Amino acid sequence: MSAKTDTPRVERFNAGGFRIYRLRLQAFPDFYAHAHLVLGADTPTLIDVGSGWADSNDDLLAGFAELQAGHGEKVSLADVGRIIITHGHLDHFGGLAFVREHTRAPIGVHALDRRVLTNFEERVVLAAKSLRTFLIHAGLDEKRLGEMMQMYTFAKGLYHSVPVDFTLREDETVAEGFRFIHVPGHCPGQVCVQLADVLFTADHVLSRITPHQSPESITRNVGLGHYFDSLRKVRDLPGVNLCLGGHQLPIRNLAKRVDEIRRSHERRLSKVLQLCAEPTTVKDVSRSLFGAVNGYNVLLALQETGAHIEYLYQRGELAVANLEEVENAQQPAVLYHRV
């Protein structure tokens, strides 16, 4: 689930008549994300802005400095005239408050992630309630539950809401040729952005890892079922020769990578079914799938497992083994077994 650096600080790609600069940012300690600057359109357009952490903001400024020094591009952050946010995760939009100190460029995001940017505090409070219910059902004890909730709500202090100026719609292109493809799954408002023969895949398709999944019981329009539909939606997009993700390396063969990701989830689904031969909780399945992980990775592992169990449960392949307890207990752990 990490995305360590193996990419240069600034990398240039060409798409039709557009110049694309990929800026590598340290979004969180040892976790790298990309912002992409598109030049050659009506106005310099920035796709994602990093996390807003000190290193991420510094890297963004250093990336622009290198554009001028190393690539002869006379463009600064103040010249950016449009900002596109690919989805409502902090490593992609958290830098908006910082970027707005330099430019008042209009900000666009898909409607389903709009409120995350404009009403972040509200979003964290409500999502935390759903997460708490999920973790109780997953089988966490009080102590573990407290730790996880503290970790999750810590994010509340990392961002201050900003206004959004336009929404990214599938049936409308923006300026010359930015086309948006809505691909819910990893995030409700996840979009891929197509520009000439380049597809910015954001966190929908990544080169090395399967993008993180979380159950729909926590947030509507995420979940593995939506994700599979969205993989199908982009797999055979015509005219795509290069994919640039929000993390990791460029992808040249989209269909091949989509198939690998799909197979990886199918293997994991089979393993979950095996693990549920005896009644078991999300917590215990997660431990078997991911071993002993630490810190925030515990939460990520539980969500990933929850997404797989939910997918199987929704399709009638798993059933609840302790229904009476779930009905009567205040805070029941749910035991799942294979049907």
Q: Which residues bind to Zn ion, rule: CB under 5 A?
A: 89, 91, 203, 246
Of the pair 34, 283, the CB lying nearest Zn ion is at 34
Least distance to Zn ion, CB of residue 92, Å: 6
Of the pair 186, 287, the CB lying nearest Zn ion is at 186
First to last CA, the chain: 31
Least distance to Zn ion, CB of residue 203, Å: 4
Of the pair 91, 284, the CB lying nearest Zn ion is at 91
Least distance to Zn ion, CB of residue 205, Å: 12
User: Would you say 18 and 38 are in contact if contact means Cβ atoms under 8 Å apart?
Assistant: yes
Of the pair 203, 216, the CB lying nearest Zn ion is at 203
Residue 333: partners with Cβ closer than 8 Å, 6 or more residues away: 136, 137, 138, 139, 281, 283
Least distance to Zn ion, CB of residue 56, Å: 12
Angle CA 6–83–93, to nearest 5: 60
Of the pair 213, 281, the CB lying nearest Zn ion is at 213
Provide the sign of the torsion angle of the four alpha carbons 40, 45, 51, 55, taken in this order.
Answer: positive
Least distance to Zn ion, CB of residue 295, Å: 17
Strand partners, 243: 199, 251
CA-to-CA distance for 137 and 283, rounded, in angstroms? Answer: 9
Residue 19 parent element (H or E)? strand 18-28
Angle CA 219–254–259, to nearest 5: 70
User: Would you say 197 and 180 are in contact if contact means Cβ atoms under 8 Å apart?
Assistant: no
Of the pair 192, 335, the CB lying nearest Zn ion is at 192
Least distance to Zn ion, CB of residue 48, Å: 8
CA-to-CA distance for 11 and 317, rounded, in angstroms? Answer: 46
Least distance to Zn ion, CB of residue 260, Å: 19
Of the pair 139, 184, the CB lying nearest Zn ion is at 184
Cβ density class 51-65: b for 16+ within 10 Å, e for less: bbbebbbebbebbbe
Q: How many CB atoms lie within 10 A of CB 70?
A: 11
